[in-house]
Amino acid sequence: MNPELMKHAASAVVGGAIGSLMRFAVGAWFVHHHPESKFPWNTLMLNLVGCLMIGLIYGWVEDRWLFGIHLRHFLVTGVLGGFTTFSAFGAESIFLFRRGESLLAGTYIIASVAGGLILAWVGERIASALFR
| Residue 92 near residue 101, CB atoms below 8 Å | no
- What Å distances lie between residue 45 and 8, 14, 70, 93, 119, CA to CA? 28, 23, 27, 15, 11
How far is residue 76's CA from residue 15's CA, in Å, rounded to a whole number?
Answer: 8
Percent of the chain beyond pLDDT 90? Answer: 71
| Residue 41 near residue 30, CB atoms below 8 Å | yes
- The mean pLDDT of the chain is 90
| Residue 59 near residue 126, CB atoms below 8 Å | yes
Express each pLDDT in 13-54 by its tens digit: 999 999 999 999 999 999 999 999 999 999 999 999 999 998
Instruction: Give the model's confidence band at 131: pLDDT under 50 very low, under 70 low, under 90 confident, else very high.
Output: confident
pLDDT score at 106: 97
- What Å distances lie between residue 110 and 2, 69, 93, 95, 105, CA to CA? 42, 33, 11, 16, 9
Residue 71 has pLDDT above 80, yes or no: yes
| Residue 55 near residue 121, CB atoms below 8 Å | yes
Q: What average pLDDT score do residues 76-94 get?
A: 90
Look up the pTM and report it: 0.78
Residue type, 32: H
